[in-house]
Amino acid sequence: MLEMKELKRPPTGGVGKAVNLLGVKQVDKTTLKTRAFQEACIYSVVEELAEHLAQLSYSVAFFELSFVPLVQLRSFCKSTNIDRFRREIKALIQQVEANIEFTNAKRMVIDFSPNDPAIESFLKAEKESGSSPLSRFASSLRLRAQQRSDSMVESSVFVGKKLLCLAANYLKLTTRKTRKKAKEKETRKKEPLCLAHPGCLKRSPRLKKSPSPQRNTTTRKKMWPSTRIS
């Protein structure tokens, strides 16, 4: 994850929404460039790697086991241009180096070989008490991650309540409008029609005109009066 090119330069997609990587399978390209997503990636890398190394922090071979992660973390610090990401990674590097000194100091005192079954008792009391530097650092990171997830849940619940209130208000307005329209229709149906009122005449149905009786168009011949010639 530390090899992503988006983590080596400042974000260009704005702040963005908080992302929980434990419940997200994939994101779009615009989310990759947001500050919230990049911070979630760095926090996830630091927390998961600290948990993993804390389990190995009581091993007699911790110096060899932590060599490759240290090289990767140091190379990321040199390549990134973001100060807050560099601070997070440097804090993890300091704790790993402190744990190396912690285990190496105990290694110099033991008098058995790595193949000896007595190696299982190496730092047994310290492991039960959880006193290694990485164990303490991992517990603090665990607490920070819990606080961050709680704040995300609170913000999502607040937004959900606000959306529910808006939806309820919208439903109330729509129901009022529909009831008002229904009442207006009922009152219009019950009102008697007044033929003198022009608005009522417009609402009254048109009567079909009865066909006018056809006139007899046959022309009668004018009868001239008969004249007698005397």
| DSSP secondary structure, 154-210, as one string | HHHHHHHHHHHHHHHHHHHHHHHHHHHHHHHHHHHHHSPP-TTSHHHHHHSPPPPPP
Which among 64, 54, 141, 59 is positioned nearest to 103, based on CA atoms? 59
Task: Using pLDDT thresholds of 50, 70 and 90, give the confidence band for residue 220.
Answer: low
| Pick from 17-31, 58-72, 120-134: least confident | 17-31
Tens of pLDDT, residue by residue over 144-155, are 988 888 887 665
Answer whether 0.75 is exceeded by the pTM.
no
Does position 188 have pLDDT exceeding 80, yes or no?
no
The pLDDT score that the predictor gives to residue 204 is 46
Mean pLDDT of the 78-96 span: 92
Task: Using pLDDT thresholds of 50, 70 and 90, give the confidence band for residue 217.
Answer: low
The pLDDT score that the predictor gives to residue 159 is 44
CB of 87 closer than 8 Å to CB of 81: no
Q: What residues contact residue 9 under an 8 Å CB cut-off, 6+ apart? A: 80, 81, 82
Tens of pLDDT, residue by residue over 149-183, are 888 766 544 444 555 666 667 677 777 777 777 77
Task: Using pLDDT thresholds of 50, 70 and 90, give the confidence band for residue 47.
Answer: very high
**Residue ranges per structural domain of the chain:** 5-157
Q: What residues contact residue 46 under an 8 Å CB cut-off, 6+ apart? A: 88, 89, 91, 92, 141
CB of 8 closer than 8 Å to CB of 80: yes
Mean pLDDT of the 131-141 span: 94
The pair of three-digit structure tokens given for residue 230, joined into one six-digit string: 């005397």
The pair of three-digit structure tokens given for residue 71, joined into one six-digit string: 């090289």
Q: Between the CA of residue 49 and those of 42, 149, 185, what are the distances in Å?
A: 11, 19, 70
Q: b/e map of 160-178 (b: 16 or more CB within 10 Å)?
A: eeeeeeeeeeeeeeeeeee
The pLDDT score that the predictor gives to residue 157 is 46
